[in-house]
Structure 1
Amino acid sequence: MTLTPHQEWWTTTELAASGLPDLPDTRQGVDALAERQGWRAHPEHARRRSCRGGGWEYNWRLLPARAQRKLLTDAAPKREAAPRRMDRDQAWAWYEGLPDAVKRKAADRLALLQKVEVLEAALGRDLAVRQVAGVTGTGARTIWGWFALIEGVRADDRLPYLAPRHRAEGPARTPRGKDCDPEFFDLLKSDFLRSSNPSFSSCYRRQLRVALQRGLAVLPERTMRRRLDQTVSPVTQVLLRRGMDAVKRMYPTQVRDKTCLRALEAVNADYHKFDVFVRWPAERGSSLPPVICRPQMVAFQDVYSGRILSWRLDQTANSTTVLLAAGEMIEDWGIPEHVLLDNGREFAAKAVTGGSANRYRFKVTEEDIPGLFTSLGCEIHWATPYSGQSKPIERAFRDMCDTIAKDPRFDGAWTGNRPEAKPEDYGSRAIDLEEFLRVLAEGIEEHNTRVGRRSEVAYGRSFAEVFDESYAVAPIRKATEAQRRLWLMGAKGVRAHSRTGEISFQGNRYWSDWMQGITGAPVVIRFDPADLWAGLHVYAHDGSYLGEAGVLDRAGFFDMEEARLLARARRQWMKAEREAALAQRRFTAAELGRMLDEVGPSEPAPPEARVVQMVPRKATKGGTPLPDQPARPADNVTRLPQRIDTTPEESPRERFRRALEIERAIEAGGPVTADQRRWLEGYQTTSQYRTERALWDDHGDAIFG
């Protein structure tokens, strides 16, 4: 192969500026050299220029030897430097990332080279290579190339160096052909990475119209999708399209070991709302209709075994039901050491967890009474909000959604587990509470005794069997009679009457003769929330037991739950009445004001003196005016009559009755004077009015005797 410089013909000006060795660096010097050596005498290497300006140009072969060598060296193709060989750690790390097909090729190459090395001892490497090449159909030069790849490599490290090198690390290959405009890619990403979660095809079609209107270069849809996946990580796509909760689910969850626990060492509790319509009967003697709702159940579960220890049902989630369920668990099984609770208000209530150091709901004061679990010495743990995986009982609730809520006896009352998954017979039936409780108790018992459980402590047994086995040998703390008052009763801080020592609670009065010694003192009362007529147990604020107080006046409700439901009904009635009253106002205050502005001011009436001032006068001992102070005419003085109020003083109850009559007159549109309105507005701001109003809201006109 003959090398030829990329430029064969040169002018003297170009040669002077080329910097070639043994050539002058001026045009005159090169012309003198050409004349001395007779370059123009060789017509095959010298010619006149055909372009404008004329002149001579010479072939590179007339140049001195060193100048020719420089031109040939520059024209020779550059030999690429051999790629740097990876060290063994890098090679094995790269090899682990290769697909199985590429790894099989490397293993086949290694096996062929090992055959050559076996024959090499007897035939020599050259003959062995040709022998193996003829048998396997692989070219001899290819085999020699594979030997070059593993030259100087340990025998146990050959495999990654024999893998096809097109998978080796290197600079990313640039796409061939035209590329899309960066602005089009930014438009597509901004449209696709939105929380509304649009499809990529719709985003591509929208932004394609924008790109065509702006004249931007684009690529096919599948190409752009691959480029977006390469540019934006899957985590970023999920974060921008589906939110932080979806990203949280991409992180592996914590696996907790139950084998280190024992029965009743730790329990967890939560509320579950059943997907079944239940007819809640009205209280006996009540005019309220039955309530149809989806009941809520609070349940306590043993963490070690998974057994449901106790449960209670109610219309809504509340701390009263939590106390009753907790008391049933402690009465039947014992006191747990650790309690894992949901972060809801019903569990963070003061009656349940008051005094806990890590309780961050409600206002915390120094006078807070210790809650049930705090008084029993249980260590309280709070589950992460909106994280069902933090509470093992959620798995049991999911099981009940299938085995209990979808029981054939509830057919027609099942509501569906999502708004868009309502059954065709939605709302066609409601289950009586008594029947629901019977099926629920049966389902929870089946849940506890079902065999074939696959937890790390069950090994095919039931939750009840696992619990009973550990419970028989575990140290269990049983409650004393004094502690039993803690969970069977609610707790509330009150103040005894300053004169008699009696305690008023929920419309009832409680008193015993020993209470004369606690007049006006702050105390803590504990009571059975389901039976307020059973009396109160009174404790000092330091926790010491003082005694029992019996009920004096059964004027209030005998059940706290009934009082809560009735109060809710009263609030709903008052809301309806307020809405009906607002419906009577056809025009707003602003509309009325605009109408008055359109009418304009009326004709002013003549002014009338409204300020009356007593005229002082100087008098003698006899009462006659002095000569220098004549008396004013009688018609210029308005004498104020003296008023002697002979009305007896009103009691607070009578004063409230008078305010109530004025309020009713105002609501009915009756005649009410301006003085009565001013008195009512001032009286409504007093604490006496608020106290009497609260009693009247609870008991009506019965407070007037």
Structure 2
Amino acid sequence: MKEWLTAAELAAEALPDFPHTERGVRKIADRERWNDNPAYARDHSGRGGGLEYHVALLPTLARVAYETRNRRIELPADDEGAEPSTLPAPGTDRAAMERDARLAIVAAFEAYAKGQRLGQASLTQTFVSRYNTGKLAVDDWIRELVPHLSKRTLARWRAAKKQSPDKLAIDRSAARKGKGVLETANGGALRTFILALIAHQPHLSGAHVRTLCRDEFGDTITAIKAGVETALPMPPVRTFQHFLKQLKASEKVALTRLTNPDRYRSTMAPSGVGSLRFITEANELWQIDASPVDALCTDGRHAIYSCIDIATRRTCWYVSRTPRASAVALLIRKAILAWGVPKKVKTDNGSDFVARDTKRLFHSLDIEPELSTEYTPQQKGHVERSIRTFQHDCATLLPGFVGHNVADRKAIEDRKSFADRLGADTADMFGVSLTGPQLQTYVDDWARYIYEARPHYSLSGMTPADAAAASGTAIRTVDERALDVLLMPAAGKDGLRKVTKFGIRIDGFHYVINAAMPGDAVFVRMDPNDAGRAYAFDADDGRYIGEAVCPELAGLHPKTIIAAKKEAQSQTLNEATRDVKARIRDITKGRPLIERAIDVAKRDALAREDGKVVALPKRTQEHSTPAIAAALDVSAPEPVKTPLSGRAADLQAEIEADLATGATAQPAPVTPLRKQETPQNRFRRALALEAAIAAGEPVETADAMWLGGYQTGPEYTAMSQMYEDFGEV
């Protein structure tokens, strides 16, 4: 706020209880002798000269109005001229902001009160009232931290400022941090168990975690409350939900270390910078590694082998259909022909880098191999970085690019409409058109014209090509023909053979060699272009002996098949989280989590049953339908039969006589009665039932149902016709 104003500026403010013209202001200045007080009147240094006056000379009402209109509460400078925000933070960033906001309000009040003619109570009241009603201009961040102000609070802040500005720093959330019930329960054992649970299964919900904690610790826990260890019931699910959210945030690094070691190593593990600055000579140290290319070719996904010269940052690349030791040898051949022989090559423990052929090649060329420690790719971070640069720079531009991860691939797939994706294979989906040789050409051109021509930070702005050209190191060269011989595959596992009178036996065939005698030990390399030709070297000193030829295979060109070996790399948990890992092992080896949850649920069910009120018998009402009634008729006891009379009795007697006669004539096995009935017997039975029904006599339900079915059949129709025609059956 501007505190010194000329008479014209004071008049322009149009303050209450004060003249609104320059002349009127000058009259007040002369009458109250403002010009005679050097502490409140001074020469105006700006245009026009004259005097300017301090706002403390204004009448009370005018001063309050001017302060309200122009005073802004913002971050002030302290007594020594330094910004409070430059003071050391007393705790968290929040605490430092709280301190600075309160210092700004106190400083604004002190400037507001300076020279006022009001008493302290009136000044405090007017300042606080104008702050709370929004009449004072306040920085947004201060208003957010202190939305409301009271006289008591302002007085307390002023007193605290006199003792130490840091006493105004209060972060309530930081003060409570680490003191929650779940943080301190059971001496911290509950917290460790919960951390182990979410490390073991990150998708557990708050309800799951609470149930498993009840299974592990029971329904009560012990926690420190008011300085005393107290038994408390297990907190509700909501408390567990809040705690899980805070725990995952505060232990993000530890959880990442436990659940995703690769991500921790690549994004969170401490990483050194410039650890290989002592490598200053070209070909002093190479690093080699391989990775699948983030693009598809017409014959599948290829692997890219990368070699980087640490001193010059040059790179050499070789595209291979599958990871194999021969691909490492061809990469070394390509780099040696371009740069010369290196002193040392660093690789990881992949099967293609530690194969016998690779070790033999390094030994033959007098190259010192160096293996990085298992599961520490950061030890060869330069080549890892070069591959990442290739994937994000070159591979992104290739046809058939499939993304750097699953999420990228899904995003590429989603760019096509469902109709376009329907029935499309992978090649169509990603626009695959490259062959392996074409990919190799693109990679070589990218490395030469883009990567090696780009200024490199580690080379102080030089390009890898310039660094290689400026190197004065002597290049160790190897004749290309000799290098090709060294790259030939060895016979069998180790290439060692003993010459017999039949020659050298390899894979069931005998190779004739004239320059060796039976009993000589030789080291044999196979010609990759002619299966019938091999080259023998002395097994002791490595000197060339001569050529061995198999008459049966000479001149043939068989296909070389090398099986791809898969690397089995397992991730281990870090020793720093020993307690959590122990709990994870206990959880894994112990009872299944679902069994624990079910046990708790059973315990709750028993508790509910113990306190359950015995219910009175429910009121019942018989339910019936026609089908139910018919079913009851079937299961009801048989009614007492009433003797037949008249014609019905005569027919019944005839039926029984016939049945008795049949039983006497053929007493054999007992079979159901109705199966022995003749058509005549059945018709007579039907007539008897019809007569009984006509006479109103009771008939069994089963007989009535049989009669109904029999009357609809062809037998009944035929027998009725005969009975009408002849009067008997």
TM-score normalised to structure 1 length: 0.47
Q: Which has the higher contact order (CA 8 A, sep 6+)?
A: 2
TM-score normalised to structure 2 length: 0.46
